A and B are shown apart, each in its own frame.
Chain A
Amino acid sequence: SSQVVWSMLGNRQFCSYKMTTKTQNFCRNEYNLTGLCNRSSCPLANSQYATVREEKGRCYLYMKTIERAAFPRRLWERVLLSKNYEKALEEIDENLIYWPRFIRHKCKQRFTKITQYLIRIRKLTLKRQRKLVPLRRKIERRENRREEKALIAAQLDNAIEKELLERLKQDTYGDIYNFPIHAFDKALQQQDAESESESDAEREEEDDDEDVDKREFVEAEDSELSDFEDMDKLETSSEEEQEEEEEVEKKASHSKSKGKTPLKGPARRKRPYIEIEYEEETEPGTKTKAA
């Protein structure tokens, strides 16, 4: 009657387990040994059949015989195979003794494949597992929107420019940029108000060292001794720099080079001031005087 079954299902009529593709027919039956739809591999069309299947990492041998064909519940007999590969092969052999060669061979092949993929699973679980986290659409959209708004609120360009100007003001760049800064100018004007204007004139005439300059200061205001002392102590006190800044260039320098080399000292001056650089106190050579 297996013949009949096959001639009905396999060849002509409909078999729900059969899947046809262009080149081959597959059988989706879970007890199928090879996975193909053949006369010898169809579990429905063979009354004596065996398969190897695995469940939760353990392999079982399933067998079906003619005697139990009338009892569907007891049709498939299940035998647990040993974990040892060779022993399991022996077990298959002794269980399927006197069975057709084809089934024996295919069972052993299937068992081999199954053990191989079980080994691979165990190896992979030891490595890193990639965890897939689902994106929540509403939250993604909300975060993107908030990010856009935060970007607009941030006004990045302005913030960066402000910060850079702040740093310039606080002199973190040192001497690279020689801009006279208005705050310094104001303080300098204050100083000028304290000292008299003749000291300016005197400074203009003389092109001596700092000492002379300091001396001039002292001459101008006797009461400003404290100031003089302060100046003495601090190498680069802000007052000195104010003087330098004022004398270097009053207006903003247009000739700031765009290249990387900083402009050390002005190339030209608008007013005939003496330029005295306070970098090293004993260096007299860096002064110039415009006529």
Chain B
Amino acid sequence: AGHGGCSVPAEGTGPPAPERVLFPPTFSVSEIKNKQRRHFMFLRWKQQQRKEKLALKKKRRKEREALGDKAPPKAIPKTIENQRVYDETTVDPNDEEVAFDEATDEFAPYFNRQTVPKILITTSDRPRGRTVRFCEQLATVIPNAHVYYRRGLALKRIIPQCIARDFTDLIVINEDRKIPNGLVLSHLPDGPTAHFRMSSVRLRKEIKRKGKEPTEHVPEVILNNFTTRLGHSIGRMFAALFPHDPQFIGRQVATFHNQRDYIFFRFHRYIFKSEKKVGIQELGPRFTLKLRSLQKGTFDSKFGEYEWIHKRREMDTSRRKFHL
């Protein structure tokens, strides 16, 4: 037999394992040909590993307690966010160049409060029920939003009409196999166009909560974790969807949280129970977005000037590198 040198019984569920199983140094569990025995040996080996690990932990904890104050600080566990490859386009809050750029880019009129956002939401051709309902719910979440059916119209023809009617933003929800799976967000008077891949869309009735519908109050906006230059511009795009002055009476908040290049959208109602505690209740639809491309002008897939495209081969090589 392959395991002639070890001191364990040969049969499957034999007597319980001894405290310290002695394996000869050249022995490997995977060399046993018999599956049952191999499985048993592997379990035994696993248990032993676990025991050793536990013993190590206990020892370390004892040492730590013994040292008391002089103990070295606890090691910080490595997370992907910790190990993230430093992106050179990370925005420094005090950067003047960025501030200057932002004062003169397409969103400046919004941030200077010269324009009030007016959104047009539409879909791709022949939307199915889920998409239609999602559009309606999105329209309740975003104030001053109108849903229009797309009856085979070309976007390039819609856009001048929208500009003529004073719309500031255009949202097109692309549908595939009866679920929405893409989002094109275009800032209208000649603004940038962002194309996202949308996933895990949950309509209001699928969210486990017992709240009411979102009211007409203007919600607050939270934008989390948009650190790089690209993330900054996307964040501003999202912020430009909502009117500038939130109505705090409404106690509603729309959150765009960026984590590892995925943007999670949530819509909550909050209530302050005390100065250290706040309760939130989720209303409204939720979805996640992943940026696919950012284009300089309005939607023009052929001749547009692309600021950023997600190139899988080049950009997905490292697990610790994120672009937003």
Q: Which residues of A contact B (CB under 8 A)?
A: 127-128, 130, 139, 143-144, 146-147, 149-151, 153-154, 156-157, 159-161, 163-165, 167-168, 173-174, 176-177, 179-182, 252-253, 256, 258, 260-262
> Once the chains are docked, how many angstroms separate the CA of A2 from the CA of B112?
87
Known: A144-B199, A147-B200, A156-B266. A179 touches B275 (CB 8 A): yes
Q: Can you name 9 extra interface pairs (CB under 8 A) apart from A149-B260, A150-B259, A160-B268?
A: A127-B154, A128-B152, A154-B264, A159-B257, A160-B222, A160-B253, A164-B270, A168-B275, A252-B275
CB of A150 within 8 A of CB of B260, answer yes
Q: Which of A154, A156, A165, A180 sits near B278, CB closer than 8 Å?
A: A165
Q: Quick one: closest A residue to B319, CB to CB?
A: A146
Query: B288 in the interface, Cβ–Cβ < 8 Å?
Result: yes
A152 vs chain B, min Cβ distance (A): 9
Q: Which of A128, A144, A156, A260 sits near B255, CB closer than 8 Å?
A: A156
Q: 21 A-B residue contacts at CB 8 Å? A: A127-B152, A139-B312, A144-B199, A146-B260, A150-B261, A151-B262, A153-B81, A154-B257, A160-B257, A160-B270, A160-B280, A163-B224, A164-B222, A164-B272, A165-B278, A176-B248, A176-B249, A179-B272, A182-B275, A253-B274, A260-B250
CB of A156 within 8 A of CB of B275, answer no
CB of B278 within 8 A of CB of A161, answer yes
A223 vs chain B, min Cβ distance (A): 32
Q: Which residues of B contact A253 (CB under 8 A)?
A: 274
> Once the chains are docked, how many angstroms separate the CA of A144 from the CA of B81?
18
Q: Quick one: closest B residue to A160, CB to CB?
A: B255
B145 vs chain A, min Cβ distance (A): 22
Q: Which residues of B contact A256 (CB under 8 A)?
A: 272-273
B252 vs chain A, min Cβ distance (A): 11
> Once the chains are docked, how many angstroms separate the CA of A260 from the CA of B215?
11
- Count B-side interface residues using an 8 Å CB cutoff: 38
Q: Which residues of A contact B251 (CB under 8 A)?
A: 260
> Once the chains are docked, how many angstroms separate the CA of A158 from the CA of B39?
43
Query: Which residue among A146, A153, A160, A177 has the maximum number of chain B CB atoms within 10 Å of its CB?
Result: A160
A259 vs chain B, min Cβ distance (A): 10
A78 vs chain B, min Cβ distance (A): 39
CB of A157 within 8 A of CB of B248, answer no
> Once the chains are docked, how many angstroms separate the CA of A181 from the CA of B261?
35
CB of B275 within 8 A of CB of A153, answer no
Q: Quick one: closest B residue to A144, CB to CB?
A: B199
Q: Which of A150, A174, A182, A260 sits near B262, CB closer than 8 Å?
A: A150
Q: Which residues of B contact A (CB under 8 A)?
A: 79-81, 125, 152, 154, 197, 199-200, 220, 222, 224, 248-251, 253, 255, 257, 259-262, 264, 266, 268, 270-276, 278, 280, 288, 290, 312
Q: Which residues of A contact B290 (CB under 8 A)?
A: 143, 147
Q: Which of B224, B260, B271, B273 sits near A159, CB closer than 8 Å?
A: B224
> Once the chains are docked, how many angstroms separate the CA of A260 from the CA of B249?
6
A138 vs chain B, min Cβ distance (A): 11
B316 vs chain A, min Cβ distance (A): 8
Q: Quick one: closest B residue to A128, CB to CB?
A: B154
B309 vs chain A, min Cβ distance (A): 14
Closest 6 CB pairs of A and B: A179-B275, A154-B259, A252-B274, A150-B260, A150-B259, A150-B262
> Once the chains are docked, how many angstroms separate the CA of A261 from the CA of B288?
33
Q: Quick one: closest B residue to A162, CB to CB?
A: B278
Q: Quick one: closest B residue to A126, CB to CB?
A: B154
CB of B276 within 8 A of CB of A165, answer yes
> Once the chains are docked, how many angstroms separate the CA of A241 from the CA of B190?
45
CB of A262 within 8 A of CB of B249, answer yes
Q: Which residues of A contact B261 (CB under 8 A)?
A: 150
Q: Which of B197, B200, B222 sits near A163, CB closer than 8 Å?
A: B222
Q: Which of B253, B280, B288 sits near A151, CB closer than 8 Å?
A: B288
Q: Which residues of B contact A154 (CB under 8 A)?
A: 257, 259, 264
Q: Quick one: closest A residue to B246, CB to CB?
A: A172
Q: Which of B197, B220, B264, B274 sits near A156, CB closer than 8 Å?
A: B264
Q: Quick one: closest A residue to B262, CB to CB?
A: A150
CB of B272 within 8 A of CB of A147, answer no
> Once the chains are docked, how many angstroms separate the CA of A262 from the CA of B199?
37
